Structure 1
Amino acid sequence: MRSYLILGMCTLFLIQYFANQTWLQYVVVSLSLLAFIGSAGKADRFPRILGLVMMGAGIIIEWNKGTGFAGISEGIFWILPLLSLITLAPLLAIPLRLGGYFESVSRLLHNLLHHPQKLYAGITGTLFIVSPILNLGSVRIINEFLEDLKLPSAMSAKSYIVGFSTALMWSPYFASVSLVLHYLNVPFKEYVFYGIGISLLSLVIGNLSFAIWEKRNPIKRDPSSLTKISKAQRRKLLELVLFVVLLMTACLMIESVTKWSMIVIVCLLSIFVPLLITAVTNDWQRAKPLWLDFRDRAVPMMNNEITLFMSAGMLAFALKGTSVMNGVSQLLKVLADQSFFLFAFAILVIVFCLTYIGIHQIAVVGALAMQLNAAELGISNISLAFILLLTWYISTALSPFSGLNLMVSRFSRLSGVQVGLRINGLHILTVVFIAIAIISFL
């Protein structure tokens, strides 16, 4: 039942985007609240408590602002694009599974086991390619491939964080990029090259730092694991890269022609690309179990995400225009007048401290995205978006409460603090320092 509520919520949101009917918006919000209640009841203990606290705080703050039910409804509707995105994007795994791409990736990684630096490059490079469309599912899949190899915990923690976090800065299929660009009204095509540039820089820095680390902490090599990759598997790897490139190109082209929201474009592609590929290949028999698995297993498993995202979105919306946020905005404006570096550093510290104690990035970054005005700060919208995405990048990689950190901690058998600050802290801070220097210069 919860699956139908959540999928119905996403479908009606997309219809409402084009129909723009007030009554339909209230129907979508009602479904969303039912989906939130159902998901919160099934969520893990910490996300459930945090979600209920943030939702309660958001509703109380919005009510005290005098907006009543209309304001609360608007706050719920504000986060629906993001909820639809995280719900529907996993559908893109269907054509990848049907095409046998994951098997080719697994063979490639096993073939690199005899050379740790090449294996690390293979893991981070693969995550760089597949994470933009598979989100956290990419880390789970890669870990399944490598589970039998018994890699050192530190190597797993480094490669998963470095490889996955690159997508946080540029992929339109990620909540970070979609939310920030959507609410700052920055077209994806104007930002994407900045995002990809810093992501590639992060990838290069990560591999160089691992090479230095591996010399100090030699990893046992196993030449006996070397197996030849067939031409068919090499072709599959090339097709995988081409698939991602075509998908991103389609996003850019549709945005340029239609001027639709990038979140809506991504949601529509997530639905129609798997359907189109299945129809073209006429492989309905193999595809049907994957669609049913998405409906019956993948969607119901999103309890934590829906609980946290919806409550954090409500809180972020409610904070807009409050005396606290006005004070923060004024402080940041003063710092921006003094120095762009001070302004950027202040935002990084504020977001990092709040997310490190468990407040979700959507609540903090979302509130800042709605509150701050780039023109008043004397900077461009792209610069502001870049800084906010850097803060999301830091908090996701380093906070022991982020979904990425929790997953990598479980796979590597290390604590969240070890995975974040101790193992990846220097890498993340290096990338952020260089990124701020570049954007200051530009």
Structure 2
Amino acid sequence: MKSWLYNRLFIFYTFVILLSLINHFWGQTWLDYMIGILAIPMLIVSYPGASKLFKILGTAFMFAGIFFFYSANLSIYEIPLLLTSNMTMLGFLLVLPWINSVVYVGKYDKQINQLMVKKVENLGSLYVKGTFTSYILMMFLNLSGINIAQEVLKENLNKLSKKVRDTFISKTTVRAYVLALIWSPMEIIVAITVGATGVNYLKILPYLLLVSFIALIVDVIVGKWRFKNIPFESPKETIPLPTKEIVKKLIQLFVALFLFLAFILMVSNLFNLNFIIAVTLVILPFSAIWALLIKRWYHFKILGYKLWKTQTNKMQNFVVLFISLAFFSNSLNATPALKVIQQPFMHYANSPFIIFVLILITYFLMSLIGVHPIGVIGVLVEILAPLFNIINPTSIAIVLIVSALATSSSSSYGITVTLTSINTNQNPYLITLRNLPFTFIFGFIGILVAILIL
């Protein structure tokens, strides 16, 4: 019975999230209340399937929310209305697997991976190619891109010592992941920040690309120098694709990315929608049209549905986090406590550099005890809200995004490091130590760019 229920969670999740999306346009209070009531069993059934980290985060947010709820003397009948404010985030996650599916069925991942080991003589050259190839894959495939890139590198580095192999993989793939996602409209941290700060995505995009590009160039230069004296010979005999075919796939990916961003901005401006809603509405039709154009519709339907169903059934972590976070944030906003928490930041309102460093340190310290960046940013945007009228919100948004993803590369309990630890069978704390310098270099590059545009 339990297995039957958890295999069909996608139906319940989809129903509630669709109601929420409908009500975003309809704006009925009674329907919002009904969605809030449904959020309660949604939270309850999700809790057993959530990971230990998200159970702890959800429990902490709920208990803190209950404390602030009673401090604000709110009515118990208001609880459902306090649970729905993050449903759009769940809607965003609901459709995300579809764009991953079209990349898989188009075989972009397999063909682009051939770039990684083509004409490589030493590990320094492989570091550059491996980082850039991983970067391209992760723009579209997110965490799935890490698995693909790490498997390819493991196969091609199996003649090297485990220490060298682990060091190489944990640097190239983890760093490429965070660098690719700081500007991606499909990254939840970017979506949350743009929505919370009210900054136009098109306005912040060039600065995020600049930060990503600078950090990427610095990392590949250092990585090439670090590994240049280690010879490389690929152990795997493959029939390589012509370079023309690989370049064609790359061009298709970048054209698709450009059109995807254009459609998001067009829908957002045309219908006056916030960024998260616009991305959510665009992903599925855009992916379907893309699959039709590359003549992979049949495979897209089958794989897309399978991947969507699997990923939606595994949304317990995010359901627990976002519903509990909504309750906490809305309860906190109803009390004077928020102003007290805001005081340390307001004290340095005329010193943006100190504010930005505090943001980076907050993310880093929270990551050390396993707090997910989404949980941190959910609290930070509430605390920093008064500063949006004092400090350029674009600068704040840049630091919020860059700091969140920079610390993801060295968080021992984070999904990126954990996944790499499992894939390579190495201690997560070693991955953290190797990426710690990168975390702070990347974070301070973001702070520097944010300071320059104040």
Structure 1 length-normalised TM: 0.90
Query: Secondary structure of the equivalent of 1:138?
Result: helix
Structure 1: runs of 5 or more not aligned: none
Please state if 1:184 is matched with 2:191: no
> Please, which of 135, 138, 145 is the counterpart of residue 138 of structure 1?
145
RMSD (Å) for aligned C-alpha atoms:
2.6
Residues 1:373 and 1:289: Cα distance change in structure 2 (over 3 Å): closer
The 8 Å contact of residues 336 and 377 in structure 1, kept in 2 or not, is answered as no
The 8 Å contact of residues 356 and 395 in structure 1, kept in 2 or not, is answered as no
Equivalent runs, 1:41-440 vs 2, <5 Å: 41-69=48-76, 72-111=79-118, 114-150=121-157, 152-215=165-228, 218=230, 220-222=232-234, 228-230=240-242, 231-279=244-292, 283-320=296-333, 322=335, 325-337=338-350, 339-373=351-385, 375=387, 378-420=390-432, 422-440=433-451
Residue 59 of structure 1: how far off its partner (Å): 3.7
- Point out the more displaced range, 196-205 or 27-36: 27-36
Residue 169 of structure 1: how far off its partner (Å): 2.2
The 8 Å contact of residues 264 and 279 in structure 2, kept in 1 or not, is answered as yes
d(CA) in 2 for partners of 1:438, 1:282: 42
Residues 1:114 and 1:376: Cα distance change in structure 2 (over 3 Å): closer
Q: Deviations over 1:51-77 (max 9, x none)?
A: 333334324433432233465434422
d(CA) in 1 for partners of 2:92, 2:322: 11
Query: Secondary structure of the equivalent of 1:373?
Result: helix
Query: Secondary structure of the equivalent of 2:357?
Result: helix
Residues 1:258 and 1:165: Cα distance change in structure 2 (over 3 Å): same
Residues 1:318 and 1:139: Cα distance change in structure 2 (over 3 Å): farther
Residue 10 of structure 1: how far off its partner (Å): 2.5
Structure 2 length-normalised TM: 0.87
Query: Secondary structure of the equivalent of 1:327?
Result: helix
More helix by share: 1
> Please, which of 26, 39, 48 is the counterpart of residue 33 of structure 2?
26
d(CA) in 2 for partners of 1:415, 1:67: 47
The 8 Å contact of residues 127 and 163 in structure 1, kept in 2 or not, is answered as yes
Residue 375 of structure 1: how far off its partner (Å): 4.9
Residue 264 of structure 1: how far off its partner (Å): 0.9
- Point out the more displaced range, 89-98 or 322-331: 322-331
The 8 Å contact of residues 29 and 76 in structure 1, kept in 2 or not, is answered as yes
The 8 Å contact of residues 20 and 35 in structure 2, kept in 1 or not, is answered as yes
The 8 Å contact of residues 112 and 119 in structure 1, kept in 2 or not, is answered as no
Q: How many residues align?
A: 439
Query: Secondary structure of the equivalent of 2:233?
Result: coil
Report the residue type matching 2:348 in the other structure: L
Query: Secondary structure of the equivalent of 1:398?
Result: coil
Report the residue type matching 1:344 in the other structure: F
Query: Secondary structure of the equivalent of 1:221?
Result: coil
Report the residue type matching 1:386 in the other structure: I
Q: Deviations over 1:273-304 (max 9, x none)?
A: 22333455665432332133124322212333
